[in-house]
Structure 1
């Protein structure tokens, strides 16, 4: 009983002590050693023994999370390289790091004993410059013995040790200035255990990387996926020797065993490497297991033979020194077969050796003594030799192969999604120097061979890909008769390809020749001829096209001293067409000359001409088909030159001559300029504007049936839309048009200038005539939006039939209906601005402007209103009543026409007429009798809803002072009206 009590009391005391100790530590951590106090102290200690600088926003002392050791938790920290190092890019940067250490050794022995360092997702940058100096040499060297100093307040570190380093999911970069190679590692993971004794340092290293990229700037990166290492190393302090006791290295799931040593010579800035590497997996079966099943089915496979791969690295590594690399691969008497399939690869043989010696580059070589794959449906044999690899490689290679895809497919377990049939024959022999290729010395190249495909049929059901060819022959040879240079020929008969039901192409017959012509030292010209009988293609169930009987000649000229690389080609095609749904562009008997000049790595400038007998284009949105008879178009880059190029579209027949520059702007919205002469027998502007408006309104094309498209076209043909001029067009057109239909007007013999700029269409002093009149016009068409286009205009009409005045300006039909009551010719001028409706007619209510008319010897037609006025004025009413003179000025505003006082002489009377014509056809006119058989002046007011519903009343003469010769009486007239009449005549340039 006493023993139990003693145990219970002891446990209570122990628990109490633990609680008290935990409480004390908690108080210390949370109230005494706070991050605000620890951070500057810890940074000072860290920087005490580092040449580089440590920075950190927050450092927190921990115990419970790092038990039994104390620890430090760092947030938002970085480590800088030594300040005298040229590249000051951050060495290590992290969001969070943890460090645990032995507090007792630090407090009692002044020793830094770090148990573990953990970095999560850091950014690491190591660099070795061209002199062999590194940016990671950040530990301070031991201080030389100096005079004793008072170190009472200074911290003296007697020992420094790290046991474990752990890096998780880092992004690391290493720049080697000695080899000029750069390395980038994604998802770098490392666990490093260090065991230090008096003689040296032991290292256990485990590493796994998702991807390593190796490159020289600006060359393309060479990437290696899934690499790792499991190594045991020992570094001797006395002789700076690194012994590789164990090192398993993995590259893409292939494991190598490495053994050897690396001797460091720090003072000489060089190292001596002596390492043997050997493929651990000897069995061919294990190697085959590494091949993805996508490429090779591996179920129930039996193999024979072993694979031996050995590498040896030996020599000095320094700024100008590289170790010698030698390797060999041996595979003999190997075979592969499947249990349930008759096919077998009965002979797999490979003897490959290589040696790379940078110190004696003439001795570097790679030799394929024998490479053989023989079996069911396959017979491939190759040998070759590459000498002086590091100087001017001399290549000798022979390849002979026969593949019977039909037999292979039946005898081996292909993926069920793959279908294959046909035969492939290959024979290649080469003997050349690499410098001959680099210097374009093709005449001296010894390369010959052929590739033949017969009855080829390859399909991937999963990828919806199929390739078929009745025959494909490719020959390349050293021709000594026809071309006297390296040449090749290709023949394709009845071949087609289809991909995912999105792309289909078939060629009935294609024959081609390619040869090289030496033009100088390091210069050669590539020439080619292609004859194509028929090619059809289709893409995405909507795009289609064909080429019929094409002949193509091309030359590729190398870059000369004063000339860039260029391609010259000539095309001759009987017919070609490209379409989208029911839209298409087709050319008959086309001839093309094209020159492409290289101005930048990815920029080629085209130049040439296009000739064709006929071009046709159609799109349902265009309603009509566009045709271009025999034409010639020259182009340079996207600048076009037209020479009497004819376009037929609907009722329009136009011939264009001139220049159109930067045509690509029609697609991307950039500025397009043109200076063209336009000759036309007929232009239907209504059709053209309707088409352009329809294109602007068109959204993405829908998959309509032909019947639906036909119905849509029928309805579209009945519509007229406002045409908005694109703002990126700057055209100057010199017109000569025999007939133009615009709105309800039909204009003839048009000549003058038309300008398209800033979204406006301007016609300057355009001359034309109609059946009713001769006309000079200047106008500006603007469409700010699709519903309300407007027209600023000046129309000068000479000898116009007054009864047809409304045909020229339809708005006058409702604004000046009285013109229908006159017969004869007049001069009429009008200037103003009006909105247009969707039928391109004036909106009478929007018309603002001025007009004037002068006429002599015209007739007033008999009518109810005129007969009533004749009765009132007591002059004779005839069927046609002569008018000696008529001059009228008028203003259009506020939905009204204000007719200023005008002089009218009829019969024995001299009348002054003025008033207002309203848009609703009502009117208020006043007629002042200035001269009559009656010896006094009077006036008549005429008001009504139309000319059959009116009221006449006698009143005083309002206009009796406007047309007198007596200056005394003229002063009584309204001077503002007199000035307004004069200003209108002046603005309209009426004499």
Structure 2
């Protein structure tokens, strides 16, 4: 009884001590050793041992969650590489990490004994550069530790060790600058147990990865699923030797057992590797499982046979050396069958050996011996080898095979999205150096055999891909009779391909031959003769085309010392058309000569010519079709040479001779230049301008018969629109045109220069005539704003019918309606700037400029206004009243025409006329009588809304001093008006 009381008492005391210790620890953790105090201290200790840097937002001391050890809980931390390393991407980054350690050793002996480090879902990034330096080399060398064995606060760290590292669900990347390979690991998991003693460090490694992607930028990634490692390693400090006591690399249920050693020489930046690896798997089925589902359905499968793979890697690895690799793969007595399917691969065998040695590249090789696959619908035998793999590989290959796709598809579990039928027969024997293909040295190529496809039909519903061919025969042979060299023939019949409704193509028949030919000292080149009966294609629901009866002759000249690679070809095509939506170009009886010269890996420069019987081009924006009768166009790169090339567009019939440079600018917006002679029977400038105006119009194309349905010209829109000339055009045109329609003007017998530059159309001293007058004109068309194009112009008209001025310049109908009252011919000159409306006619209200007219022996037609004036002035009124002379200067400004005082001699009178004509047809004129039978000078004011509604009033003569030879009287006139009249005559080049 006393014993029980004593035990109970001891337990009570012990419990009290535990509670007291727990309370003390809780007080210390929560009130004394707070995160604010421990964070800088812990970072200082960690950074003492590292060249890189540890950063962390918060570090918290724990005990109860890491019992029986104390622990540290890190939040939002990162481990940075050596600051001298080129790539400063973060080495390790995490949201939360935990670390437990032996507090007793730390307090008593200043030893850092880390029991466990755990990272959950971190981001890891490791890199090895081209010189062999790594970003994870962040631990300070021993001599630096000894030199800095105490921190600033006097803390002396005696030892540092880690016993266990655990990483869960990490995302990891590794870049190898030596091999130029990149690795990306999805769901990386690692448990690393370390046991350190005085001689070295033992490591137990367990690793599991959901997926590893291996790639070179920018190549496509190669992905491996479910990989891992289970290894026992020992690292010796004295000789930096890592021994692989056990190493199992796992891919699904396939194991690579590895044994050997890896020795590091950090000062020399090199590593010595000596490892033996052997493939071990319980079943051949595990190998089958590595084949992607896209190619082979994963149904229940039974396999037989032995698969052996042995690898041996030995040698130094650094920036200049790679270890020697030898491999031996044997597959014997293998077979494969699927449950519930009749198909079977009854015999599968091969033996492959290889050796890759960078130090002795001539001895590197790979050999395939007796690769045999026999089964339902399959009979394949192949053998070959590749010598001097690392130099100029010499390939020997023999392949005999028959595939019955119909049997294969019915007997094996293909992906349900794939259908296949037809037969493939192959019999090929070849040997060649890879450099022969790279350097296009075809003369020494040795290849003979055939490839035959009959009734081939392959479709993938998932990828929306289908391929069909009635027959494809390809023969390779050494021709001794006709070519005396390597030759090949091709015969294709009724074939088509379709991909995702984005591309469709079909060929009715294609036959031809290809052979090697040597000319003089030049390298051998390829010649080809191809005959094509009918080809149709369609892409992306908008691009379409067809070729009918084509003959193609081509030569490929390989690159030589002083000569680049080039292709010379000649085409003869009955008809060809290429279109985009409802736009198209169609050519009948075309002949092409084309030379392509290679100037860069993806840059070929074209040169040649094209001739044809007829060409038709159409785009809805053009409204009219462009037609070219029998023509020949030469080109070099994107420079075109035209020689009397005829163009028919709407009402225009044009012939062009000259050069057009840098035609690619029509597509990419760069400068396009041209120097052309333009000869035409008729040019409808209004229709040509609509090319740039963007007017939409429909055009019917019957794709089933590949014939072009023409739209009747009278059904096309005749609406005219303002247009803007692209600023990247710089054209100089020397014109000779019989008839030109521009706006409402009809011009004839035109010759002169037309310039297109900086978005402007300029006519320089162009001469032409109309039914009413002969004209010399200079004008500049500008359309910075599509809605308000402007025209700077000078028109000089000689022998113009005064009553028909408005036919030459329609705007004068409202600006100078009085000219209709005169009959006879005059010289009229006008200069100014005006906006054009969408019909390319003058906006009279925007006209700013000057004009002058001189006439002799003209007639004033009888009318109500003239009859009343005749009665007022008391001169004879006739049906046609002769005028000896008329000289008028005028200015156009705002909405008015300001007519400066002008001299008019009629009958026995000498009159001075001036005033203002408004655009609303109202007017305010004054006539001063300077000479008359009445011996005094008087004046008449005429105002009105139109010429049938007017008012006449007698007033003083306002212009009596403007037309006198007496200087005394002339000084009384308004000098500004006299100077203005002189300025207008000078600007218009009147003598």
Contact 1:439 1:522 in 2 (8 A): no
* Counterpart-to-counterpart distance in 1, 2:144 and 2:826: 118
- 1:306 deviates by 3.3
Provide the residue aligned with 1:743 in structure 2: 743
- 1:797 deviates by 0.5
Distance change (3 Å), C-alpha of 1:141 and 1:737: closer
Contact 2:496 2:507 in 1 (8 A): yes
Provide the residue aligned with 2:245 in structure 1: 245
Distance change (3 Å), C-alpha of 1:755 and 1:186: farther
* Counterpart-to-counterpart distance in 2, 1:59 and 1:809: 87
Provide the residue aligned with 1:348 in structure 2: 348
Contact 1:775 1:798 in 2 (8 A): yes
Distance change (3 Å), C-alpha of 1:615 and 1:450: same
Which residues of 2 match residues 163-562 of structure 1 at below 5 A?
Answer: 163-167=163-167, 169-175=170-176, 182-187=181-186, 189-209=189-209, 210-213=211-214, 223-226=222-225, 227-237=227-237, 241-251=241-251, 253=252, 255-262=254-261, 264=263, 266=265, 273-314=273-314, 323-357=323-357, 364-390=364-390, 393-434=393-434, 436-437=436-437, 440-517=440-517, 523-562=523-562
Which residues of 2 match residues 675-824 of structure 1 at below 5 A?
Answer: 675-695=675-695, 717-824=717-824
- 1:471 deviates by 1.0
* Counterpart-to-counterpart distance in 2, 1:790 and 1:362: 77
Distance change (3 Å), C-alpha of 1:462 and 1:109: same
1:26 aligns with 2:27: no
Contact 1:276 1:310 in 2 (8 A): yes
Q: C-alpha deviations, 1:140-193, integer Å up to 9, x for none?
A: 55559999x99997443322211122445354435465xx55544444553322
Distance change (3 Å), C-alpha of 1:222 and 1:815: closer
For 2:449, what is the secondary structure of its paired residue? strand
- 1:490 deviates by 1.3
Contact 1:686 1:742 in 2 (8 A): yes
For 1:421, what is the secondary structure of its paired residue? strand
For 1:877, what is the secondary structure of its paired residue? coil
Which residues of 2 match residues 840-919 of structure 1 at below 5 A?
Answer: 840-919=840-919
Greater mean deviation of Cα atoms: 962-971 or 765-774: 962-971
Contact 1:232 1:245 in 2 (8 A): yes
For 2:66, what is the secondary structure of its paired residue? coil
Contact 2:697 2:717 in 1 (8 A): no
Greater mean deviation of Cα atoms: 639-648 or 383-392: 383-392
Contact 1:97 1:117 in 2 (8 A): no
Which residues of 2 match residues 576-595 of structure 1 at below 5 A?
Answer: 576-595=576-595
* Counterpart-to-counterpart distance in 2, 1:144 and 1:404: 72
- 1:289 deviates by 3.3
* Counterpart-to-counterpart distance in 2, 1:146 and 1:286: 54
- 1:626 deviates by 0.6
1:71 aligns with 2:75: no
Provide the residue aligned with 2:830 in structure 1: 830
TM-score relative to the length of structure 1: 0.90
- 1:857 deviates by 0.5
For 1:407, what is the secondary structure of its paired residue? helix
Q: C-alpha deviations, 1:524-581, integer Å up to 9, x for none?
A: 4333222212111123343321111212222222333333322222222221101234
Q: C-alpha deviations, 1:284-310, integer Å up to 9, x for none?
A: 233333334432234343333333333
Contact 1:62 1:73 in 2 (8 A): no
Which residues of 2 match residues 552-701 of structure 1 at below 5 A?
Answer: 552-695=552-695
- 1:250 deviates by 3.0
- 1:823 deviates by 0.5
1:94 aligns with 2:72: no
Q: C-alpha deviations, 1:772-815, integer Å up to 9, x for none?
A: 00001111111122221111111110000001001111111111
* Counterpart-to-counterpart distance in 1, 2:83 and 2:895: 87
* Counterpart-to-counterpart distance in 2, 1:376 and 1:144: 71
Greater mean deviation of Cα atoms: 181-190 or 888-897: 181-190
Contact 1:256 1:277 in 2 (8 A): no
Distance change (3 Å), C-alpha of 1:277 and 1:263: closer
- 1:638 deviates by 1.8
Contact 1:244 1:258 in 2 (8 A): no
Provide the residue aligned with 2:125 in structure 1: 124
- 1:382 deviates by 1.3
Q: Which runs of 5+ in 2 are unaligned?
A: 704-708
* Counterpart-to-counterpart distance in 2, 1:15 and 1:555: 96
* Counterpart-to-counterpart distance in 1, 2:319 and 2:835: 81
1:942 aligns with 2:942: yes
- 1:94 deviates by 3.4
1:110 aligns with 2:110: yes
Contact 1:282 1:306 in 2 (8 A): no
Contact 2:354 2:367 in 1 (8 A): yes
Distance change (3 Å), C-alpha of 1:593 and 1:233: same
For 1:804, what is the secondary structure of its paired residue? helix
* Counterpart-to-counterpart distance in 1, 2:903 and 2:91: 100
Q: C-alpha deviations, 1:740-759, integer Å up to 9, x for none?
A: 00111100011111111122
RMSD over aligned CA atoms reads 3.7
Distance change (3 Å), C-alpha of 1:445 and 1:893: closer
- 1:447 deviates by 1.7
Contact 2:631 2:645 in 1 (8 A): yes
* Counterpart-to-counterpart distance in 1, 2:770 and 2:129: 88
Q: C-alpha deviations, 1:44-93, integer Å up to 9, x for none?
A: 4345444x24353656343269633232637564444496xx86867835
- 1:396 deviates by 2.6
* Counterpart-to-counterpart distance in 2, 1:880 and 1:924: 24
Q: C-alpha deviations, 1:190-232, integer Å up to 9, x for none?
A: 33221223554221213345335366xx996874534432222
Distance change (3 Å), C-alpha of 1:385 and 1:110: same
Distance change (3 Å), C-alpha of 1:398 and 1:13: same
For 1:936, what is the secondary structure of its paired residue? coil
Q: C-alpha deviations, 1:617-654, integer Å up to 9, x for none?
A: 12233221110112222222222222221110010011
Distance change (3 Å), C-alpha of 1:236 and 1:926: closer
* Counterpart-to-counterpart distance in 2, 1:757 and 1:973: 47
* Counterpart-to-counterpart distance in 2, 1:137 and 1:124: 13
Distance change (3 Å), C-alpha of 1:612 and 1:247: same
* Counterpart-to-counterpart distance in 1, 2:702 and 2:39: 72
* Counterpart-to-counterpart distance in 2, 1:937 and 1:908: 14
Distance change (3 Å), C-alpha of 1:731 and 1:328: same
* Counterpart-to-counterpart distance in 2, 1:966 and 1:866: 31
Contact 2:476 2:489 in 1 (8 A): yes
* Counterpart-to-counterpart distance in 2, 1:322 and 1:870: 117
* Counterpart-to-counterpart distance in 2, 1:55 and 1:158: 20
- 1:237 deviates by 4.9
Contact 2:184 2:214 in 1 (8 A): yes
Contact 2:396 2:431 in 1 (8 A): yes
Distance change (3 Å), C-alpha of 1:28 and 1:169: same
* Counterpart-to-counterpart distance in 1, 2:486 and 2:868: 104
Greater mean deviation of Cα atoms: 647-656 or 270-279: 270-279
Greater mean deviation of Cα atoms: 10-19 or 857-866: 10-19
- 1:402 deviates by 0.8
TM-score relative to the length of structure 2: 0.90
* Counterpart-to-counterpart distance in 1, 2:645 and 2:787: 34
* Counterpart-to-counterpart distance in 1, 2:902 and 2:468: 88
Contact 1:53 1:82 in 2 (8 A): yes
- 1:944 deviates by 0.9
